[in-house]
A = this chain, B = another copy of it.
């Protein structure tokens, strides 16, 4: 089943709001075997709405529209739908009662424009919105389904989950789609592609491979289409079985895993603890770790030792070390990690120290240079990297790399 999403709203076209609705809807539809081929963002413009609707109905079986259902003058989606379907507005009593109730509960006056929110085109099925005021609308004409939903993310999501996805499921044939995403790090997209070219060329026609590169990582997404879900799962498993040995050293996880979640899972399993000592990443590493719910079970905390003074006072880095080798050096990184592990009393500690920029580079230590050290119960070691990027990306890439280095050490200690 093919679907087109039309997001209506001037705020999307001037970049004021990022279109998160499209991603949420696409992910949910995809999980339900509904394939989104186009996402179109347009203004609150009557002609453009009708034209886009017409184009969408020519190439998709299901068209889902969001936005333009509010009570103000610039919200004209309902009018466009009436004109497109040759319908007129009629009262939908449950929606009307719902809006009236909404205003009564908040002690707000109930105006004519609010009254309008209880009206829907006479050719649609109204979808009662219990988390807001604007009802959803479900239209069918010949073999096309058109759905109109409010643009407020929470309302759109509730209406999708409550009505739209279950109703689409009912309509579906037996086509199934399965995905598996393999997360790799430490190898560039082109090298990865060259390494698995033979395997990729031999993939069955109903299995597609996509490369999704992002800041030093490459995600490989395998998608399989077919009639029989079990057979598809077996097919995917068998292809994975051939692929994985070829790139096992680069794989750190699957699907929604992150470095931080993978590291966290390992530490939790082994009941071990972690601390961080950050200079150039300035909290980014701790931030990534504590984004994972439950991180407090293995992450004790960390020190952001931005100044040399704090590197000495809080982590015990030697004054001589800083003087002789500088803050951005293997020696300082190692002493930071060791001091952190000892003073924060954890099994592992990771330290970062580098030159994130935009200034501060020298010939010997160019901008982007960073040392990452990992202290373990067995000792400490550090690695140098040079990330020639913006300051923000440098912090991000260093934090990623630090988690990857830690993960590699954790693996070898298994």
Least distance between A368 CB and chain B CB atoms (Å): 11
A324 at the interface (CB under 8 A from B): no
Tell me whether A390 is interfacial, beta carbon within 8 Å: yes
User: Besides the contacts A108-B191, A152-B214, what 18 more A-B pairs have beta carbons closer than 8 Å?
Assistant: A11-B210, A12-B22, A13-B30, A13-B35, A13-B37, A13-B39, A15-B26, A16-B221, A37-B43, A70-B189, A108-B188, A113-B194, A114-B190, A278-B286, A282-B295, A283-B285, A304-B304, A313-B344
A19 to B36, CA, bound (A): 14
What are 30 A-B interface contacts by the 8 Å CB criterion?
A: A12-B22, A12-B26, A12-B39, A13-B30, A14-B26, A14-B27, A15-B23, A15-B24, A15-B25, A15-B29, A16-B221, A19-B22, A37-B42, A39-B40, A44-B210, A72-B193, A73-B193, A105-B388, A109-B191, A111-B194, A131-B389, A276-B304, A282-B295, A283-B286, A293-B357, A296-B307, A301-B306, A302-B304, A303-B314, A314-B343
A347 CB within 8 Å of chain B:
no
A299 within 8 A of B: yes
A10–B40 contact, CB under 8 A? no
In the assembly, what is the distance between CA of A70 and CA of B188, in Å?
11
Over the window 375-398 of chain A, the binary record of Cβ atoms lying under 8 Å from chain B Cβ atoms (1 yes, 0 no) is: 000000000000011111101000
Q: Which residue of B lies closest to A151 (CB)?
A: B213
- Report A351 CB to chain B, min CB distance, Å: 13
The answer to whether the Cβ of A258 comes within 8 Å of any Cβ in the partner chain is no
Report A's interface with B, CB cutoff 8 A: 10-20, 22-30, 35-44, 48, 70-75, 105, 108-109, 111, 113-114, 131, 152, 154, 179, 181, 188-191, 193-194, 200, 209-214, 221, 276, 278, 281-291, 293, 295-296, 299-307, 309-310, 313-314, 343-345, 357-359, 388-393, 395
Q: Which listed residue (B17, B193, B291) contacts A71, Cβ 8 A? A: B193
